[in-house]
Chains A and B, each alone.
Chain A
């Protein structure tokens, strides 16, 4: 539970002095802006822009000479391998602030927004340094990740002439984390691999139907007494109340009885816009399924469709429809 009452009041009083504070350390680029680091960056990003790596193209461009990719700005002052050792400057007020949050249960950290502005492109030989100010700390907020506080920082970058060349802001959420440790720079942890569809709840009354799907068949339940067809599977006939049943295999041919196009919200594992149709199967029952490979605007009531059983994620098969 998040702290409250007097404890929260005391905590928030301790936060106040940090607002507007320079974090107390200056980040100084260990190397001047140079072609080797730019080339390495461009290779990693697959960026072939001639302004960065082709002296002729750069010379003939508005830049007039080789320049560094603008989004590389922070790379000139980051710590490199030293960052992996976890040692931090004890004078760093930003780290101190984060530790204060940690100590009060707000151990999670996630960057939610960042903005960069570039006054000019950096040229080879520029020497970069940066200073950072904690601009603001939000009120306590209830977020999707948990209760927490947003911290806004602004880092200003200067060149060898002390002219500002750009700035960047970060908005970071420090939140009460249920997970064991903090996940930096990322939102909710994703599951392994690609997103999978929700699995059906299997029980005595429907397991057989999914077994048929697994075998590549779209089955329709049929009353053994009055011969009425029914779907989805259930134990008793709605027409004659008989609990004796068998099933037939559908040809998968049908026509669209009605449909919707789902655009929002997007659930991982589906492709949007998603056409979901109620299909009149030729046997006489209705079935709900996705209609694939057709533009939403081209779907019509009465359109002939054909079902096929296909894998819709790594393991689940489902009947899906296409225009017949």
Chain B
């Protein structure tokens, strides 16, 4: 859980975040869509998704963002403050697949005690998401 707090001075450029595999189930995709209040039919209605040229329902962007944010705060802890998430979207997340989130520290901003983390979420078809998360950490003692 998130009791642990990562301090800014404990982090170095190049540090890898713990890998996070996410099993992509219909339940997750629907739960994410509903929790984000995104009832666009392609995210919960298989027929609608197929009419749109997809094999099955696929994950909405808010869920992707939510998982990316979780990936970073699982590592950074309760005192982390995310200030920016910038992502490029790739292959869709479909049920039955697994997306594995990996990331590493790309930059440190001493003035803000903030780090930029490069994040990639990859499924069997390629990169679902690539991008950066800027997160301010607790300053060192």
Residues on A close to B: CB < 8 A?
37, 40-41, 43-51, 57-58, 61-63, 69-72, 74-76, 78-84, 110-118, 121, 179-195, 266, 268-269
A113 to B82 CA separation, bound complex (whole angstroms): 18
Give the size of the chain B interface in residues (CB under 8 angstroms): 60
A184 to B67 CA separation, bound complex (whole angstroms): 20
A185 to B58 CA separation, bound complex (whole angstroms): 9
| Given A81-B39, A112-B89: A118 in contact with B84 (beta carbons within 8 A) | yes
- Say yes or no: A80 contacts B97, CB within 8 Å: no
Which of A41, A58, A111, A117 contacts B36, CB < 8 Å? A41
A69 to B94 CA separation, bound complex (whole angstroms): 24
- Say yes or no: A51 contacts B78, CB within 8 Å: yes
Determine chain B's interface SS by DSSP, over half rule. mixed
- Say yes or no: B53 contacts A71, CB within 8 Å: no
Which of A111, A118, A181, A269 contacts B53, CB < 8 Å? A181
Q: Which residues of B contact A111 (CB under 8 A)?
A: 61, 89
- Say yes or no: A41 contacts B82, CB within 8 Å: no
| Given A49-B70, A113-B88: A61 in contact with B54 (beta carbons within 8 A) | no
A304 to B10 CA separation, bound complex (whole angstroms): 44
- Say yes or no: A118 contacts B91, CB within 8 Å: no
Which of B54, B55, B81, B86 contacts A62, CB < 8 Å? B81
Which of B31, B66, B90, B97 contacts A69, CB < 8 Å? B66
Which of A37, A61, A116 contacts B35, CB < 8 Å? A37
- Say yes or no: A180 contacts B34, CB within 8 Å: no
**Interface members, chain B 37-79 (any A CB < 8 Å):** 37-42, 44-45, 51-56, 58, 60-63, 65-70, 73-74, 77-79
Q: Which residues of A contact B65 (CB under 8 A)?
A: 71, 114, 116
Q: Which residues of A contact B138 (CB under 8 A)?
A: 62
- Say yes or no: B79 contacts A44, CB within 8 Å: no
